[in-house]
Chains A and B, each alone.
Chain A
Amino acid sequence: MEILVCVKRVPTVGGAITLTADGQAVDTRMSGFTISPHEECAVEEAVRLVDRHGGSVTVVTLGPVEAEEQLRFCLSLGASKAVLLEACGAGEFGPIATASALASVAESGAFDLVLLGNEASDTGDYQVGIRLAHLLRQPVATGIKALSVAFDGVSGSVEAVSVEAAREYRGVSETFQLPLPAVVTVKEGINLPRYPSLPGRLRAKRASIERIPVQFAPEGLRMRTLRVPVAGQHTATVLGHGVDAVPDLVRVLGELGVLS
């Protein structure tokens, strides 16, 4: 199987997010960068699929040249090829332009499957995978937490023909059958991603990364500024210490109306 995984360089945030003085970006001086947790799982899923079924994993990102760091991270996990869509021009690429740039890479290779994270943790647009699928005229399933590949069993060949993709929604299990080639966006929980091994890191360090420049184009949805939500003045009522406070807790639960 040939699998393309799309990832995005995003700031690593721990606790409170701090912004740059102009409110245009997250202050990353002390936080560094990563890929979204969903995307780590996408890479892991791809690597497991090719480990099991053969083939190779290509990883692509649209971002600044520094995003090579994230591509090399993916290479260290087992991807074998990486493409950097080098974002040129000022401005944050929107989901339409991003999908279009990714489509150019997806179309340039014969990929059976394109994997993405369900949403990028920074912008949270929830749409790049779907837009990409439309551009590729391929079926798409999103938010997937279980994925298996069906092969053409009749001919005995190893050609993957479809994937079964499942997720849960409001207590209901939803399963999608997608003929390949297809696009699937996954969510954390589909697997437990591995950590890069030292030999993996060495391979990643030595790998060459293809660079393709992409020009920025504005979209209809434009960010003006970012801000940190103002937390309301809030004081917790301390009910007390240990089991002695249990009667008070029961009283509070009653007041909150959760005791039937």
Chain B
Amino acid sequence: MTEAPTRARAVIIGAGIVGNSLVHHLALLGWKDLVLVDKGPLPNPGGSTGHASNFIFPIEYSKMMFELTKDSTEQYQELGVFTESGGIEVARAPERMIELKRRVTQAKAWGIPAEHLTPEGVHKLVPYLDPSVILGGGYFPTVGVVDSLRAGTLMREKAQAAGALTVLSGTEVLDITTAADETGHERVRSVVTSAGEIRADNVVICCGVWSPRVARMAGARLPLTPIVHQMISVGPIALFAGTTGEISYPIVRDVDYGMYERQHGGDMEVGSYAHRPILIWADDIPSNEAAVLSPTELPFTQDDFDPQLEQALELMPELLGDEKAGTRYAINGLISMTPDGHPLLGEVPEVKGLWSAAASWIKEGPGCGRVVAELMSGRVPTVDVHEASAARFYPAARTAANTRDRAAEAFNKMYGIVHPREQYESTRPMRVSPLHERTAALGATYFETARWERPQWYATNEPLLDKYAGRLMERPAEWESRWWSPIINAEHLALRDGAGLVDLSAFTILDVTGPGALAGLQNLAVAQLDVPAGRVVYTSFLNEEGGIVADLTVMRLSSQAFRVVTGAADGARDAQWISDHLAAGAVLTDVTSAWATIGLWGPRAAAVMDDVLDEAEKRTRSAFPFGSISSVEIGGSVVLASRISYVGEYGWELHVPADQAGHLWDRLWDAGQPHGLVPVGIGVYGTTARLEKGYRAFGAELTPDFTLVEAGMTRPRVKAQAFIGKRAYLAQREARRSMSTAVLATLTVDSLVSADGTPRYAMGGEPVLSAEGSRLVDSRGRPSYVTSAGSGPSTGSHLLMAYLPARVSPVGTKLLVEYMGEQYPVTVASHGAVFDPSGSRMRG
């Protein structure tokens, strides 16, 4: 019955926890003329917020998810709707006991209270749990429950009280109109609702499970699928009759059976992630009018839950086995899932002014609202959410089919023991290199990045294991040997001894051309891009606060043509960053699929190259200085040869039209045989060779949370031209001595031997501790943890990278790293390369 305004600065669609949080944070940031629209009634419009079990476990392996959850918890606490209950993950299988060690160690890295419990210890906290069916537990005392509907109401009302917000409940969004802006981009124009059309500069999709449906109105694809999570509520529970408030006992996660048990007043809620993945199409979600309970509380399918009943009864026999306690409520609740389990935050790639704040659960909802409000305000977000960027997927990964396949596969891993290198199986192969047939014939084991199949190592290199026996740093513990092969280390040594051929065709290749290309890119890059044509420049992009947002190379092909080469995992996001900031006169074209890239490196790379280059060009090879690019003829193909290296050896990135990639590969292969050329996988390129050289990787060492100064990547001079983040960068440089709060270092593990005598290899994410075993936290509150880990076969050391507080960063400092509950001595080895620190091998 409320009149819809005809204009708004932003229309926020969806009044669940995220939409309410978003309007609150936008209002705090000074936004006015906001309109919050929901087709359902308030305070519970019928989305996933309304049926959430509303508990929050702070422990996450992903730093981003941990930080979003932490911020959300603090917001709930400020709103007075958080009740601490504690939570326990119980182990039924021996493997889970090991996993709990990993969880508790991870908790230590993030500073979350956590401890191991014996079965009796669990029983003491949860007296209705049968200790004889468990092996132990991991206790997280800061787990709690929230009233998410109340939180949403409070936040919405704050925005209303600030005079910033009009709320339209019972109002359905019928369409989102767009129009091309002056740069040719589609831009949102209006939201057509059942209460009238609202012209808007910004439209935010906070529609949870409905998000793909709403995005499609604007011609955008959001890779999100509704999926069923079953939950029942059993009561009245006699034991709970005497308790006050919503919860008096810790929440139990029976992770081995994919279930949780959580007191809710007089009832016990039992939820499951163990049943078959039940996917729903967003278009099939019933309307508020037609829904039996609510649109996202679908009819319970008892058969799917039945297997869980016995397991729940086994764990809590008396409490749940009470004949007087009935299943008072049972739903197939709809929740949102994305292909990688992370939310979808930020502007969507297809339409300017169309934002996504979707696929966020209760535990991270308020944090997601804050972050998107910050992004919409042009601010650097409080939490680095590049892993949740709405622009992180290429179009193929945004399709419904691929989204659903991945969601179905990931669903049962929700409480599973998921190896950090574990690979998805569904929808593969999706994107393949033009060299795929050749690498497959070489027995490649493929790992997937951004839906690209990349050879991780090659079975045909197995004979190298004998050659390099004793130097392979083999991993006797099953956990670390999983998704790994000693062949990686053998390939590494073979590359350093002879030459390696690396299929790098998954690189994202972006051409920026036109009269405004130089100016546009100069404005993004820290490094000087006004170089002569024929040079390749390695550079970072910064945000306004000097945080690192991209790490890539730029080739100047001609005065008005630049080619940006970046990692497959970062390409879609980088493309959006460039596109967002390019001025008129420059055109961005994604030519990834047109080009294949082959890496040729090693001490014999030059010799291999000599054998394939035409005579005339061979003589000019010495004119290929490091950092140069050159168009050369190899076997009749025109190849763009770029003299850079990410492995620390002399050689080239060879860019060739995709249709001739096989031809080039074959020429190099044939020529390389006398020189000991071997195919080398990404296990070497991305980890072992990189770590020996101390090269930083985006997403691991290079993130918006750290500066170039802290990363040790400052250049001697700062270019005269303006670029985004320059002011902050100059200030960071200025303050480097007095203010430097963290220093990126490479650590060597001094002793790998665990208590049972088995060598163990940290894999990343582990807490770095002082020599006395206490957590290391820098003056800005950032903990020290392992950002990258891997073998350094040429150095003979297991290598770790970590940001350290300056006082413990000097080379030679002795520290500890905790892994799986045990502490291992480490030494700060370098702030740069531990292998060939002078870089002489690269210069050739």
Contacts and interface: CB of A to CB of B under 8 A. Distances in A.
- Are any A and B Cβ atoms less than 8 Å apart in their complex? yes
Interface string A221-247: 000000000000000001000000000
B180 interface: no
Given A12-B299, A15-B291, A197-B324, A30 B310 contact: no
Contacts of A31: 286, 290, 292, 299
Given A16-B287, A198-B327, A199-B313, A32 B293 contact: no
A17 interface: yes
Interface string A14-55: 111110000000000111110000000000000000000000
B626 interface: no
Interface stretch (A160-168, A180-188, A200-208): A200-208
Interface string B304-320: 00100110110000001
Contacts of B284: 29-30
B306 A32 contact: no
Contact of A16 (B289, B299, B310): B289
B325 A197 contact: yes
Interface in A104-118: none
Given A197-B323, A198-B313, A200-B323, A12 B302 contact: no
B300 interface: yes
Contacts of A72: 302
B298 A197 contact: no
Nearest to B287: A16
Contact of B290 (A18, A32, A202): A18
B265 to A, nearest CB: 15
Contacts of B290: 14-18, 30-31
Contacts of B293: 14
A229 to B, nearest CB: 14
B191 to A, nearest CB: 24
A195 interface: yes
A92 interface: no
Nearest to B299: A32
A199 B306 contact: no
Given A15-B291, A17-B290, A31-B292, A195 B302 contact: no
Nearest to B288: A15
A72 B299 CA distance: 16
B39 to A, nearest CB: 13
A32 B302 CA distance: 11
Given A16-B290, A18-B290, A238-B1, A201 B306 contact: yes
B298 A196 contact: no
B234 interface: yes
B285 interface: yes
A13 interface: yes
B403 to A, nearest CB: 20
B327 A15 contact: no
B121 interface: no
- Counting chain B CB atoms within 10 Å of each CB, the highest count among A12, A15, A16, A202 belongs to A15
A134 interface: no
Contacts of A198: 234, 309, 312-313, 320-321, 325, 327
A242 B302 CA distance: 45
Interface range on chain A (Cβ under 8 Å from partner): 20 to 34
A18 B290 CA distance: 7
Contacts of A18: 286, 290
Nearest to B307: A205
Contact of B291 (A14, A33, A69): A14
Interface in B86-110: none
A194 interface: yes
A199 B327 CA distance: 11
A18 B285 CA distance: 13
Interface range on chain B (Cβ under 8 Å from partner): 20 to 34
Contact of A195 (B285, B310, B327): B327
A30 B301 CA distance: 11
Nearest to A236: B1
Given A15-B291, A16-B289, A31-B292, A205 B326 contact: no
B361 to A, nearest CB: 22
A19 to B, nearest CB: 11
Contact of B309 (A13, A32, A73, A201): A201
Contacts of A194: 326
B428 interface: no
B580 interface: no
A18 B284 CA distance: 12
Nearest to A195: B326
A34 to B, nearest CB: 8
Contacts of B306: 201, 205
Contacts of A69: 302-303
B328 interface: yes
A196 B330 CA distance: 11
Nearest to A15: B289
B181 interface: no
Contacts of B320: 198
A73 B306 CA distance: 12
B327 A197 contact: yes
B670 interface: no
B322 interface: yes
A30 B226 CA distance: 13
A196 B328 CA distance: 8
A32 B286 CA distance: 12
Contacts of B234: 197-198
Contact of B327 (A14, A32, A33, A196): A196
B45 to A, nearest CB: 14
A202 B292 contact: no
A192 B20 CA distance: 38
A197 B330 CA distance: 12
Contacts of B288: 15
Contacts of B303: 69
Contact of A201 (B285, B287, B291, B327): B327
A202 B284 CA distance: 32
B328 A13 contact: no
B292 A32 contact: yes
Contacts of A205: 306, 309
B299 A33 contact: yes
Contacts of A195: 326-328
A139 B310 CA distance: 44
- Counting chain B CB atoms within 10 Å of each CB, the highest count among A14, A69, A198, A201 belongs to A198
Nearest to B293: A14
Given A15-B290, A30-B298, A202 B310 contact: yes
A69 B303 CA distance: 8
Interface string A73-112: 1000000000000000000000000000000000000000
B312 A32 contact: no
A29 B291 CA distance: 11
A201 B290 CA distance: 28
A16 B299 CA distance: 16
A196 B326 contact: yes
Nearest to A197: B323
Contacts of B326: 194-197
A201 B289 contact: no
Interface of A: 12-18, 29-33, 69, 72-73, 194-202, 205, 238
Given A30-B291, A198-B320, A205-B309, 19 more contacts: A12-B292, A12-B299, A13-B292, A15-B289, A18-B286, A18-B290, A30-B284, A30-B286, A31-B292, A32-B292, A32-B301, A194-B326, A195-B327, A197-B323, A197-B326, A199-B313, A202-B309, A205-B306, A238-B1
User: What are the 8 tightest A-B residue pairs by CB atom distance, in nearest-first order?
Assistant: A32-B299, A195-B326, A14-B292, A16-B289, A15-B289, A30-B286, A16-B290, A197-B323
Interface of B: 1, 234, 284-293, 298-303, 306, 309-310, 312-313, 320-328
27 contacts: A12-B299, A14-B290, A14-B293, A15-B292, A16-B290, A17-B290, A18-B286, A30-B285, A30-B286, A30-B291, A31-B292, A31-B299, A32-B298, A32-B299, A69-B303, A73-B302, A194-B326, A196-B326, A197-B234, A197-B322, A198-B234, A198-B327, A199-B323, A200-B323, A201-B306, A205-B306, A238-B1
